[in-house]
């Protein structure tokens, strides 16, 4: 009765993000109770491998007491400190300094928020303010990509290239944002080799800049690899060509690293993996491994110096910008990542194994494409492998596969019909074996259900 009692309260009062609440009332929520390592338990006592790292955030796994202690110690010393009115505190300053030492060259200034959506809002306000101060106020258009996910606020949802989000209300997308195709080779260039496709896909940015007018384009805004879009991992030629195009037309390059940052790609940041230096870079999720809400918008000297030297008062901020406890947890999280060499170990030992296990699904009757970068992988379900035809949207086959996996003890995310895995960076090889074993069972059961085997 404990699960049912919580479900009754949940239905009565708690509205969930990205949820069909009428459907949820029929099924009831899974009620999580505790987590340890890569596992989460629910009120029925079921142990589930978190193949999603929460939502791409619990990089060092659940149950690390050091992060709890860091928060408690900071709260006892200074539970809150606003950053308005010429006030600062040591945790925020120390974290900003630490991040500046880790980020690509020139990103020396950091503004803190509580979520990735807020970090992307900050980036957009910064872009527009920068060009106003630079004497080019006509540069208002920001180019983003289809299937992008940048958050749920008005501006962040407008940047996102997922049309169903636009129906949530608010006349989204807002003006001044345009989208180009994403480097999704399975759909947009299967006949090309990867290096060739990367150059072609980057060229779509140049085409859009010329279409809009180079003197009107403010920035290109994109994730290094697209998580919610379905684990879309661009070829290695893509991002260097994007950077070249941005420099050619003096367009600011903005990297949304909310998911990719802090080890997801096998390096500390997606910018490191793809060899680029953005003008702005947003961080979140893995900055605290999800233990407390914190995000950051890092700015290059070029951008920050303009705001500082010419901008006067910057009328932007949040009550919880640089919250002491959140900053303290981030510092402890980074210390653990560094001292235990979690990112480096994952890159050397887990990423190749993860990729090899993922590639065993190439011959599965449901899987049309297998793709990954670091510990982010996608298995795209198709109705016809030869023609790459997808199942009808109404079939909801991805959701069906996710349900089958959860029954067997794996959180296996459906991004449309792409089944995505982003396990914590501390997962072990035996746990990877178990994770992929359940994933195969779930896909087999789904294939039987949809008469594909």
Q: What is the pLDDT of residues 75-126, one digit of tens each?
A: 999 999 999 999 999 999 999 999 999 999 999 999 999 999 999 999 999 9
Segment 272-287 shows an average pLDDT of 98
Label residue 45 left, alpha or beta by phi (over 0 means left) and psi (-120 to 50 means alpha).
left
Is-contact 427 418, C-beta < 8 A?
Answer: no
pLDDT at 210 over 90: yes
Does residue 96 sit in helix, strand or coil? helix
Summarize pLDDT for 179-202 with one digit per residue, the tens. 999 999 999 999 999 999 999 999
Q: What is the mean pLDDT of residues 272-285?
A: 98
> Rounded to whole angstroms, how far apart are CA atoms 238 and 203?
9
pLDDT given for residue 168 in this prediction:
83
pLDDT at res. 428:
98
Note whether 341 and 335 are within 8 A (CB). no
The arithmetic mean of pLDDT across residues 19-48, rounded, is 94
pLDDT for res 452: 86
Query: Hunting for tokens 């619990």 — which residue is that?
Result: 58
Return d(Cα 406, Cα 163) in angstroms, integer.
Answer: 27
Q: At what angle do helices 238-248 and 194-212 cross, to 10 degrees?
A: 20
Confidence band (pLDDT; 50, 70, 90) for 167? Answer: confident
**C-alpha dihedral, 208 to 213 to 219 to 220, nearest 10°:** 10
Which domains are delineated in the chain? 31-63+341-449 (3.90.1150.10), 66-339 (3.40.640.10)
Model pLDDT, residue 1: 61
What would the mean pLDDT of 346-362 be, rounded to a whole number? 98
The pLDDT, as a whole number, for residue 170 is: 75
Q: What is the pLDDT of residues 34-53, one digit of tens each?
A: 999 999 999 999 999 999 99
**What integer pLDDT is reported at residue 56 of this predicted model?**
96
Nearest C-alpha neighbor of 144 from the set 198, 180, 172: 180
Instruction: Report d(CA 343, CA 291) in Å as an integer.
Output: 18
Give me the percent of the chain exceeding a pLDDT of 90.
95
Q: How many helices (H) and strands (E) does the chain have?
A: 17, 15
The total of other beta-carbon atoms located within 10 Å of residue 24's CB is 16
Tell me the pairing of strands 252-256 and 280-283: parallel
Provide the pLDDT for residue 358.
Answer: 98
Buried b (16+ CB within 10 A) or exposed e, 111-129: bbbbbbbbbbbbbbbbbbb
Residue 219 · residue 131 · CB < 8 Å: no
Spatial strand order of the sheet with 410-411 comes to 32-36, 39-42, 47-50, 410-411
**How far is residue 152 from each of residues 85, 116, 117, 148, 172, measured CA to CA in Å?**
29, 9, 6, 12, 11
- Parallel/antiparallel/unpaired status of strands 39-42 and 32-36: antiparallel
Q: What backbone torsions phi and psi does residue 140 show, to the nearest 5 degrees?
A: -120, -20
For all residues of the chain together, what is the average pLDDT? 96
């Amino acid at each position: 009765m404990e699960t049912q009692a919580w479900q009754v309260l949940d239905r009565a009062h708690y509205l969930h993000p990205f949820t069909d609440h009428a459907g949820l009332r029929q099924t009831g929520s899974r009620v999580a109770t505790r987590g340890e390592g890569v596992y989460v338990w629910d009120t029925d006592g079921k142990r589930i491998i978190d193949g999603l790292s929460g939502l791409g955030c619990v990089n060092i796994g659940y149950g690390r007491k050091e992060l709890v202690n860091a928060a408690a110690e900071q709260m006892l010393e200074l539970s809150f400190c606003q950053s308005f009115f010429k006030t600062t505190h040591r945790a925020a300053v120390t974290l900003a300094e630490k991040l500046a030492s880790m980020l690509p060259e020139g990103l020396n200034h950091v503004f803190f928020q509580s979520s990735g959506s807020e970090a992307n809002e900050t980036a957009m306000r910064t872009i527009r303010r920068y060009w106003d101060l630079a004497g080019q106020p006509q540069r208002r258009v920001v180019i983003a990509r289809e299937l992008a996910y940048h958050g749920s606020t008005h501006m962040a949802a407008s940047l996102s290239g997922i049309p169903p989000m636009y129906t949530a209300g608010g006349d989204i997308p807002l003006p001044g944002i345009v989208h180009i195709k994403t480097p999704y080779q399975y759909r947009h260039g299967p006949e090309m080799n990867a290096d060739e496709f990367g150059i072609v896909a980057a060229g779509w940015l140049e085409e859009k800049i010329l279409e809009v007018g180079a003197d009107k384009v403010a920035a290109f805004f994109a994730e290094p690899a697209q998580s919610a879009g379905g684990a879309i991992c661009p070829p290695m030629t893509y991002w260097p060509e994007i950077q070249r195009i941005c420099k050619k037309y003096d367009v600011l390059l903005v990297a949304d690293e909310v998911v990719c940052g802090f080890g997801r790609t096998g390096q500390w940041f997606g910018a490191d993996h793809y060899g680029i230096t953005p003008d702005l870079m947003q961080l979140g999720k893995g900055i605290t491994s999800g233990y407390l809400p914190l995000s950051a918008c890092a700015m290059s000297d070029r951008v920050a110096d303009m705001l500082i030297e010419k901008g006067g008062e910057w009328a932007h901020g949040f009550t919880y910008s640089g919250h002491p406890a959140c900053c303290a947890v981030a510092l402890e999280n980074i210390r653990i990542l560094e001292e235990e060499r979690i990112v480096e170990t994952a890159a050397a030992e887990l990423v190749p194994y993860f990729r090899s296990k993922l590639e065993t699904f190439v011959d599965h009757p449901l899987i049309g494409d297998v793709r990954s970068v670091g510990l982010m992988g996608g298995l795209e379900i198709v109705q016809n492998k030869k023609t790459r035809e997808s199942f009808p949207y109404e079939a909801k086959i991805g959701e069906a596969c996710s349900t089958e996996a959860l029954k067997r003890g794996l959180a296996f995310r459906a991004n449309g019909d792409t089944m995505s895995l982003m396990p914590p960076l501390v997962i072990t090889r035996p746990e990877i074996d178990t994770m992929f074993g359940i994933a195969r069972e779930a896909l087999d059961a789904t294939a039987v259900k949809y008469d594909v085997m």
